[in-house]
Amino acid sequence: MFLVILAAWIFVELSIIFTPKRDKLPWNTTSKVKGFYELEDNSIDVVFLGSSHAFCTFNPAVFYKENGIKGYVFASNEQPLWLSYHYLIEVLKTQKPEVIVLETFYISENNEYKKDGVNKLSLDDLPLTLNKIKAQNVAFEDNLEGVNPFYNYHNRWKEFNITDFDCKENGLLKGFTPLYKATPKVIENFNVTKADLPVKSMLYLDKIIDLANDNNIPLVLTYAPYNINASRNQHIKTVEEIALSQGIPFINYSDTSLLKTIQFDAQVDMEGGHTNVYGAQKVSEHLSNYLDNEFNFNPIKKSKDYEVLTSRFYAADSLKKIDDFDDYLNYLSNMDVYVAVTAMDAINKSTSIAFEKLGSQISFKDKFRVSYTGLFNNYRGYVEEKIDTMAIINKMQPNDKRNFYIRMESASFNTGNYSKIYINNVDQLINKSKRGFNIVVYDAVTNQILDTASFDTFETGNWSRY
């Protein structure tokens, strides 16, 4: 018996190692799924289920900021309703959310089985349980293809790297995917009658409704913004009728009148076929306020994770409004971001430890024309600094489990008088560097530059940004 248990344990561990780790935005399914299992039991108010239209549309940071609602987007690429059902079973093992939100874009799925590659995105990272096996049985035509990751990926040993053994941090965005580009779209509604839903979708919509009812958890059905065709519009009509007949709220964010109400502009608020981060904010604000008004929430106490999450998405606006140097550093001191600093021209001789709030140990007292580079992440306790009378070139790749590269160059007035900060080989200060401290704030989680700022340190007194 011991040998059987040992063999089973080895098999499971090898399957986990051999399964590809999909941890890079935007389609970081490994991080999303594993992040859910790292949540404390009964720690969320709302769970969002569905496809990529769910994880690109519902931003938990907005729900938390608006109404203190803690949510997680437990969704996967092209997730059909039969997998949403099994995802909900997983949710209810450890969570008792006050509301379940189901995004229904793939209710129109006509194929009884999705492509194997799509199914693997949804199922590979789920722990091996009876529920996973049942999910694989309804997802794959060939059950062996789904049940046995080792069978699928045993030849991957040639591609192994450190992430196969030490996966990157999970769940930092609570399942959300921020898309930052804009692809102009036109959303219109069609005057159509309803049409029958695909049989398998209808079966699992009923199962989801029953499972929510059995657990006394309200269900809200939604449809994300999309330039839908007439056929999808017919299915939306059917979902609307089903929801109405069963007293289930249905919010259609592809309805042009609702989009007008929330000031959603498909010309700027979408990237490809998905809601971008700006559109997601509008939808999330509306849905957050709706949930708060309709349900008796008892928001769980404040969480450091959600505070950091919220600051991540609102920092870009907040930082640009801060002019005072000390206030700027105070704001950054509690954020999970990298603050890159280079000096140019001259620094006031009376300056002591300018970046002490970020963990700096270097004093500038009696140092006037010096070159300086500093990289800080106070949240993670990361500090790396250099100061010299000569020009400095400092190359860094912090051991952050996220693959990014920083190069900083600093030269005082006497050694060239320039300041450069490259993030992933792009000079973020081109045509922006000024006398004093030049700062770039980088979020490695979303791979976004949150702010660039320059503070003139030549004069005494309080420093303000240019």
The pLDDT of residue 8 is above 50: no
Q: What angle do CA 279, 284, 290 make, to 5 degrees?
A: 135
Query: Which residues are paired to 437 by β-bridges?
Result: 343, 455
Q: What is the pTM of this model?
A: 0.81
Query: Is 352 a residue whose pLDDT tops 80?
Result: no
- Contact at 8 Å (CB) between 119 and 125? no
The CA–CA distances, whole Å, from 374 to 154, 319, 341, 449 equal 44, 19, 5, 17
Could you give the percent of the chain with pLDDT greater than 90? Answer: 60
| Alpha-carbon span 40 to 72, nearest angstrom | 12
pLDDT value at 12 more than 60: no
| pLDDT for the residue numbered 334 | 86
Long-range contacts: 204-210, Cβ < 8 Å, 24+? 204/80, 204/81, 204/82, 204/84, 204/85, 205/81, 205/104, 205/107, 205/239, 205/242, 207/85, 208/81, 208/84, 208/85, 208/88, 208/102, 209/246, 209/248
How far apart CA 145 and CA 152 sit, in angstroms, is 7
Q: Which residues contact 202 (CB under 8 A, 6 or more apart)?
A: 196
Share of the chain above pLDDT 70, in %: 86
Assign domain 2-307 to a CATH class. alpha beta
Q: Is the pLDDT of residue 158 over 50?
A: no
What is the per-residue pLDDT for 464? 86
What beta strand segments (E) does 215-370 contain? Answer: 219-223, 250-252, 270-271, 274-275, 338-345
Q: Of 21-25, 166-170, 205-209, 375-379, which one has max mean pLDDT?
A: 205-209
- Helices and strands counted in the chain (H then E): 15, 16
**Residue 158 gets which letter from DSSP?**
G
Query: Would you place residue 162 in the very low, low, confident or very high pLDDT band (cuts 50, 70, 90)?
Result: very low
pLDDT at 217: 98
Of residues 457 and 212, more confidently modeled:
212
Q: How confident is the model at residue 148 (pLDDT cuts 50, 70, 90)?
A: low
Q: Which of 116-130, 273-287, 291-305 has the highest average model confidence (pLDDT)?
A: 273-287
Spans of all domains in the chain: 2-307, 322-455
